[in-house]
């Protein structure tokens, strides 16, 4: 015997309608709650470097993020290796490194998406998320970098500038290109951030 057969046909239809409305209402509430769980700084989408597939940064909500503007032909390019080590060591604890190639400084990232992706993987074994080449400084800076600068992190002065963002989506600190990924200060800040809720 079904739930609706307990009622007259009219009551059965009303009951079915009420059940449908309840379910739809709960789905709408769930959809409305999703943005609230994603900090405003992450409510942005960028294309993945390898294949231009759109990626919503909300997928990294609740993680500790190290956001870095990168370049393939820079004196700091070997930092890719250290960034990948950080990602490998602390990824299971909640750290995600996000790489944004940029040609802003010294035109040291002249290539296109797939060529940059191949270089990063083949030369440095980069597996952390990388996004399409972008502008990270000045009036045309992409929305993430503009917001990080506005939050007090300053604007990148060169390639491999770094921003550390906590699980709550708030900027913790920023680090110059001279700060190596394995520097004690940066590592200590990452470890501390990973212990925060």
Written out in words, the top-level CATH class of the domain with range 40-195 is alpha beta
Catalytic residue, chosen from 22, 23, 58, 74, is: 74
Pair type for strands 64-70 and 95-101: parallel
pLDDT of amino acid 197: 85
Is the pLDDT at 23 greater than 60? The verdict is no
Asked about 74 being catalytic, the answer comes back as yes
Backbone angles phi, psi at 196, to 5 degrees: -85, 150
Residue at token pair 């002065």: 157
Read off the pTM.
0.82
State the DSSP H helix or E strand holding residue 57, giving kind and residue range, or none if neither.
none
Return the closest-CA partner of residue 124 out of 162, 84, 164.
Answer: 84
Q: What confidence tier does 36 reach under pLDDT thresholds 50, 70, 90?
A: low
Inter-residue contact 138 to 117 (CB < 8 Å): no
d(CA 18, CA 5): 15
């Amino acid at each position: 015997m079904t739930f609706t057969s307990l009622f007259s046909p009219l009551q059965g239809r009303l009951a079915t309608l009420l059940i449908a409305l309840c379910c739809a209402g709960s789905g709408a509430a769930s959809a409305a709650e999703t943005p609230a769980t994603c900090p405003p700084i992450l409510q942005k989408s960028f294309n993945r470097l390898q294949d231009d597939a759109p990626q919503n940064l909300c997928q990294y909500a609740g993680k500790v993020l190290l956001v870095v503007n990168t370049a393939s032909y820079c004196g700091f390019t070997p930092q890719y290796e250290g960034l990948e080590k950080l990602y490998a060591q602390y990824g299971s604890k909640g750290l995600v490194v996000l790489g944004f190639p940029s040609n802003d400084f010294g035109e040291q990232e002249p290539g296109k998406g797939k060529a940059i992706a191949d270089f990063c993987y083949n030369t440095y074994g980069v597996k952390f998320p990388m996004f399409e080449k972008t502008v990270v400084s000045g009036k045309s800076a992409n929305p993430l970098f503009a917001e990080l600068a506005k939050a007090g992190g300053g604007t990148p002065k060169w390639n491999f500038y770094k921003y550390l963002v906590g699980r709550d989506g708030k900027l913790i600190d920023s680090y110059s290109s001279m700060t190596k990924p394995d520097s004690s200060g940066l590592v200590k800040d990452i470890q501390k951030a990973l212990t925060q809720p």
